[in-house]
Amino acid sequence: MSETHIPVLRNEVLDFLKPNPEGIYVDATIGLGGHGFWILKKSHPTGRLIGVDVDASALVIAEKRLHVFEKRIRLIHGNFAQLRHLLEEHQINKVDGVLLDLGVSSLQLDTPDRGFSFQHLGPLDMRMDGRISISAAQIINKSNPDKLVKIFKEYGEEHYAKQIVRHIVAKRSEKPITSTLQLAKIVKDAYPIKTKRSKAFTQNGQKREIHPATRVFQALRIEVNAELNNLDIGLDMAVSVLKPGGCVCVISFHSLEDRIVKQRFRHLAKTCICPPKTPICICEHQQMLQIVTNRPIFPSASEIEGNPRARSAKLRAAIKI
């Protein structure tokens, strides 16, 4: 990563986490170490950071970037859905802040061999964690049509899911679909003539044109890596390892992720979950969080200008009660 790399919503994340020298922080998606670097810098000289990532190759880069912080940084290869267990293995119980910066890293997107991008020729892989057994190619070639339609509709919100799946099924019966560009072309060809470019809304409601394969690739990536399920569990894990007063920050990149974060935060911030009109509270639900971003935080126009990938980002934060 270049020294000029500025992680998404960096200042906003630091404002919420307030890294200090007495603190222990978890960057549960350490990636290339962008946010991690700043958390360590701001908690100088004794603050500690645990960096977690499912992608072993990201950890190699994070290690190169963060080794200057010596014993203050520890990197763990693992899934944030197992965060509590991962920390216990390293004799850490409670921490002062947790960051989840969801989605793919620029390393994953820009390495054609990983198969995440419909713009580069590569194998149809998309596994963030090399230990996962099922790749995107296996899903595309082996799943029954109904399952593919469901994946593209649910995880990609793809309007033309049925048409696309019909094309996929026809093409895969001729020969297996094994490359990113092969799939991107099949999806593009399946789109109605007038709609060769698709439209999407960014998280702050702006309309932009996207390649027709964008949603199918997003859907496949989510399916391969069980991203939404991991997020659901990962949020509970993050809250469970926080000390009272500790902060959890989540940066999401599409509405499916953001909905999960919003709903989980709201649930954990409720004092009572009894049905309305119940005369006295019987639920024994415990409020765990106080939400500190009533509305999500978006990157500024100047951040988006410098880093177009930031345009879809949304930050939500909450404090452990």
Ligand X SMILES: C[S@@+](CC[C@H](N)C(=O)[O-])C[C@H]1O[C@@H](n2cnc3c(N)ncnc32)[C@H](O)[C@@H]1O
The pattern of x and - marking residues 249 through 278 that bind ligand X according to CB under 6 A reads: ------------------------------
CB of 52 to ligand X, least distance (A): 5
Scanning 19-124, the segments in alpha helix (DSSP H) are 34-42, 56-66, 83-89, 106-110
> Residue 47 has which token pair?
């603050």
The pattern of x and - marking residues 113 through 142 that bind ligand X according to CB under 6 A reads: ---------------x--------------
Give every CB contact of residue 53 below 8 A, 6+ residues apart in sequence: 29, 30, 31, 59, 62, 75, 77, 78
- Count CB atoms within 10 A of the CB of residue 209: 9
Q: Which of 24, 69, 105, 148 binds ligand X (CB under 6 A)?
A: 105
Give whichever of 5 and 270 is closer to ligand X, judged by the CB atom: 5
Which residue in this structure is represented by tokens 């790749």?
135
Question: Tell me, what amino acid is at 123?
Answer: P
Which residue in this structure is represented by tokens 């293995």?
89
Q: Which of 31, 122, 212, 299 binds ligand X (CB under 6 A)?
A: 31
Q: Which of 14, 24, 32, 151 binds ligand X (CB under 6 A)?
A: 32
Contact segment (CB under 6 A) with ligand X among 51-59, 85-93, 178-186, 295-303 equals 51-59
Q: From 147, 152, 164, select the one nearest 221 (Cα to Cα).
A: 152
Contact status: 7 vs ligand X (CB under 6 A): yes
Q: From 146, 153, 145, select the one nearest 169 (Cα to Cα).
A: 145
Contact status: 97 vs ligand X (CB under 6 A): no
Distance of CA 229 to the CA centre of its chain: 11
Give whichever of 6 and 200 is closer to ligand X, judged by the CB atom: 6
Q: Which of 52, 238, 297, 317 binds ligand X (CB under 6 A)?
A: 52
Report d(CA 124, CA 116) in Å as an integer.
8
CB of 148 to ligand X, least distance (A): 23
Distance of CA 260 to the CA centre of its chain: 11
Contact status: 241 vs ligand X (CB under 6 A): no
The pattern of x and - marking residues 158 through 197 that bind ligand X according to CB under 6 A reads: ----------------------------------------
> Residue 137 has which token pair?
């190619």
The pattern of x and - marking residues 204 through 233 that bind ligand X according to CB under 6 A reads: --------------------------x---
Q: Which of 43, 79, 252, 312 binds ligand X (CB under 6 A)?
A: 79
Give every CB contact of residue 219 below 8 A, 6+ residues apart in sequence: 151, 152, 154, 155, 156, 158
Report the residue number whose CB is nearest to ligand X: 34
Report d(CA 101, CA 31) in Å as an integer.
9
In the complex, which residues of this chain contact ligand X (CB under 6 A)?
A: 7, 28-29, 31-35, 52-55, 58, 79-81, 101, 103, 105, 128, 230, 234
